[in-house]
Chain A
């Protein structure tokens, strides 16, 4: 089980601020992002990705571990 947190415009797309996902096979960060993109259609939304409070490359071949917390952080523009 991992937790995915959503912020800003990304959370508007997912209509939730976090969700817990379970997976049976080995799951890479890249694959998770692909799956989420398919599910929520982020399209042109830009965001950075953090794993356990640390921003990582979206193309890194990191294999997700049980209890990892992933966060999708888009830039904000208001002021």
Chain B
């Protein structure tokens, strides 16, 4: 606050800011205490891992007796001791396509402190969709990279690394000195604070590469690529496309007498072959959404149609309405009839001879 670049006004900006830190590992352990001590108003911490003994050499906010405990919760407790004025949310969940966008919308900037390339692309894409800056940092042994992506419509992670099928290794696999991760985390915290305070030059459109062994650092410029964009629809398609679970009728034959399960025929009433199983109802697909109250969300439901296409649509519809135990029967009524015929003639044969 004594710094003229910050002052009372800067402290107000910090108090009003909301930062989401994804990953409470080595990078997070450097970023979190500095953001908290600086007086950032709200901090969210996303990490679904628990503390392991091998983490302690670089994840310095955790104590030995916290081994086995949730990283997000322990980090929250650390911040509460350091600066009780900070509002902290510990989110002990894995970041996914399902929670990323709604989470990001609640914060001003997103810090990527993860150790996994696939998650970096997810963070990048969710930042793009929600229009938030992504403060990137990562390590390879004695080298680190820092950049701020998607800052005021600036270039993104995909503009720098368009090839998603990368196989870069993380700290547990590669080995790393605690201080290396700490230095890079500190660079990230610095970028976050600069953005909040509106001071200096944000590392947008530039990647900083730092080598802790020879203290050399380089900055490389990169440009925004217009093809590396993603819409909300494309995001859902990429990350949240539901996989229809299909089963063959043969594999559920022994469920035919089970009163706990339901066979749901989504064909129209005039379609044949007719199938009449013991626990079966018919709701044509076009009426399904309006008749959901007739179904039990917890019951095991096998959906079928004529050939197995409409039942997939019905599956997606039920999944959207949070039905848990649903499956689509491959091949539909045509395949079922075949199997039932075979089964009956087999039993018939047995009966007579």
> Could you list which residues of chain A lie within 8 angstroms of chain B, going by C-beta atoms?
5, 7-9, 44-46, 48, 50, 53-55, 71, 73-79
Alpha-carbon distance between A73 and B221 when the two chains are bound, in angstroms: 12
Given the complex, which residues of A lie within 8 Å of B166, measured CB to CB?
Answer: 46, 74-75, 77
> Out of B138, B160, B221, which one reaches A53, CB within 8 Å?
B221
Query: Does the CB pair A79–B163 fall under 8 Å?
Result: no
Which residues of chain B (168-224) have a CB below 8 Å from chain A? 168-171, 174, 176, 181, 207, 209, 218-223
Could you list 11 further interchain pairs (A-B, Cβ under 8 angstroms) beyond the known A46-B165, A76-B143? A46-B166, A48-B160, A53-B218, A53-B220, A54-B220, A55-B207, A77-B170, A79-B112, A79-B113, A79-B114, A79-B137
- Least Cβ distance of B212 to chain A in Å? 12
**Across the interface, which residues of A come within 8 angstroms of B170, CB to CB?**
77-79
Given A8-B140, A9-B140, A48-B161, A78 contacting B221 (CB threshold 8 A): no
Q: A44–B163 Cα gap in the complex (Å)?
A: 11
**B276 CB-CB contact with A under 8 Å:** no
Whether A71 pairs with B137 at a CB distance below 8 angstroms is no
Q: Which residue of A lies closest to B169 (CB)?
A: A77
Write out the residue numbers on chain A whose beta carbons fall within 8 Å of the beta carbon of B220: 50, 53-55, 71, 73
User: Which residues from A are CB-within-8-Å of B120?
Assistant: 75, 77
DSSP majority for the B interface?
mixed
Q: How many of chain B's residues have a CB under 8 angstroms from any CB in A? A: 41
Q: Which residues of A contact B181 (CB under 8 A)?
A: 78-79
Measured in the bound complex, the distance between the Cα atoms of B139 and A74 in whole Å is 11
**Residue contacts A-B, CB under 8 angstroms, 22 given:** A7-B140, A45-B167, A50-B220, A54-B221, A55-B221, A55-B222, A73-B207, A74-B140, A75-B117, A75-B120, A75-B138, A76-B138, A77-B115, A77-B120, A78-B141, A78-B174, A79-B26, A79-B27, A79-B114, A79-B115, A79-B137, A79-B181
